[in-house]
Structure 1
Amino acid sequence: MRDTPGRLREAAERLLAERPANQISLRDITDTAGANVASVGYHFRSKDALLDEIVREALTTVYEQQRALLAKLPDDAGIEDVVRAWVLPTLTLRADDQDTVQRRRFRILQNTLNAPSPATSALLAEMAAPVQQQLLQRIARQVPHVSIEELWLRHTATLAALGALGSSLFSTMLDGIAPESLAEQLVAWIVGGLTAEPALRSG
């Protein structure tokens, strides 16, 4: 039988894959883990600290993959390659139906993005900032006709759309689309949105 910290982590991961952190109680975790309430504080300081640790690990996996892919690209890489480096890590998590850990990690990220708590929002901002800054710098060089303000809006809208695609409401609409086909279609759509002419032109 797994030790108590391991059972608590496993329980927290399972619950975070089912619903957002703000819908998980201390009792939910301990009942699922078969542990007493005091054990969470003893091993992880608090329920929120335990949940934040699980979310941080899931986010770290995605951001490290994005950083690694961006780092491999030459300085003159096209915008399609830059967008692939941005998007493919999250789609890989979604597509890997054979890997329980990967599937769970994707659901954790999905639930985190759909209903972030204040603490999780701060964690997202902290961890995303370095990757997003590098990403936007590379994209900006490819779309000099788009202002930074509008590019940020397009970037944010893309994130929102990708997050929505993983929800149960929309994911069923994508049944039957091969993951590799879905990835390339989304890359083409994102590139089209990022490179479109500005909505408003000065003068």
Structure 2
Amino acid sequence: MQDTPSRLREAAERLLAERGAARVSLRDITDAAGANVASVGYHFGSKDALLDEVVRDSLTEVFEQQAALLAQLPDDAGLEELVRAWVLPTFAAHAGQDEARRRRTRILQDALHQPSPAISALLAEMAAPVQLHLLDRISRHVPHLSQEELWLRHTAVLAALGALGSDFFAGMLAGTDPDRLADQLVAWIVGGLTADPAGPRHTP
């Protein structure tokens, strides 16, 4: 039988993936874990500290998977291969993921969509090495883009992936084929990255 901290972490992870942090209460967690309310304070200090720990563990796994996939690609990997290594670990609907990984990527999407100050700092800290490596490799395929333009498009992709994790957009995408949706996202991102930058704006 699992110890109390493990049960609390597992319950918090499941609830975060199902509802998002804003709709998870302390009582929800303890009821799901079969624990008393005081146990959260005893083992983690507070509900927020428990949730932050679960988010940190989820983000660590996702970014480690991104880094591993990028490391496996040869130096001459194409842009689509790079985008797949970037996107699929963060996309919960991808059918190749097991249930635990789906939960963790849903947590990442929720963190991107509505990050707390602590999670914003955590995202910046953990994502930076992977994203800088990724952007360096992508930039070789889009020499027509300035660094500023490439960073803008990269940020727009992250914003879109975060939004897709929200209930509103998830509902709009209900009924779509997860595997096909992943391929469509990759194609859309590649198209956005390779498009010409906007020309100068002319005023009459």
**Which TM-score bucket, shorter chain as reference?**
0.7 to 0.9
Alpha-carbon distance in 2 for matches of 1:7, 1:134: 36
Alpha-carbon distance in 1 for matches of 2:105, 2:76: 31
Unpaired stretches in structure 2, ≥5 consecutive residues: none
Counterpart in the other structure of 1:100? 99
Q: How many residues align?
A: 201
Matching residue's letter, 2:154: H
Partner SS state of residue 140, structure 2: helix
CA contact under 8 A between 1:52 and 1:120: conserved in structure 2?
yes
CA contact under 8 A between 1:18 and 1:111: conserved in structure 2?
no
Counterpart in the other structure of 2:44? 44
Deviation string 1:92-111 (CA, Å, 9 cap, x unpaired) is x3234984323322332222
CA contact under 8 A between 2:15 and 2:29: conserved in structure 1?
yes
CA contact under 8 A between 1:69 and 1:85: conserved in structure 2?
yes
Alignment of 1:111-130 (within 5 A): 111-130=110-129
Alpha-carbon distance in 2 for matches of 1:76, 1:4: 48
TM-score by length of 2: 0.86
Deviates more, 1:70-79 or 1:151-160: 70-79
Partner SS state of residue 93, structure 2: helix
Q: 1:162 to 1:20 in 2, by over 3 A?
A: same
Q: 1:178 to 1:71 in 2, by over 3 A?
A: same
Alignment of 1:7-156 (within 5 A): 7-91=7-91, 93-96=92-95, 99-156=98-155
Q: 1:119 to 1:101 in 2, by over 3 A?
A: same
CA contact under 8 A between 1:8 and 1:33: conserved in structure 2?
yes
Alpha-carbon distance in 2 for matches of 1:176, 1:42: 43
**In the alignment, is residue 159 of structure 1 matched against residue 158 of structure 2?**
yes
Deviates more, 1:77-86 or 1:104-113: 104-113
Deviates more, 1:191-200 or 1:35-44: 35-44
Identical-residue share of aligned pairs (%): 73
Alpha-carbon distance in 1 for matches of 2:164, 2:88: 14
Could you tell me how far 1:149 is from its partner in structure 2? 0.9
Deviation string 1:128-187 (CA, Å, 9 cap, x unpaired) is 111100011111121111111111110111111122223332234434443332222221
Alpha-carbon distance in 2 for matches of 1:95, 1:165: 13
Matching residue's letter, 2:61: T
Deviant stretches of 4+, over 4 Å: none
TM-score by length of 1: 0.86
Partner SS state of residue 187, structure 1: helix
Unpaired stretches in structure 1, ≥5 consecutive residues: none
Alpha-carbon distance in 1 for matches of 2:8, 2:95: 25
Deviates more, 1:150-159 or 1:20-29: 20-29
Deviates more, 1:44-53 or 1:128-137: 44-53
Alpha-carbon distance in 1 for matches of 2:162, 2:28: 26
Partner SS state of residue 57, structure 2: helix
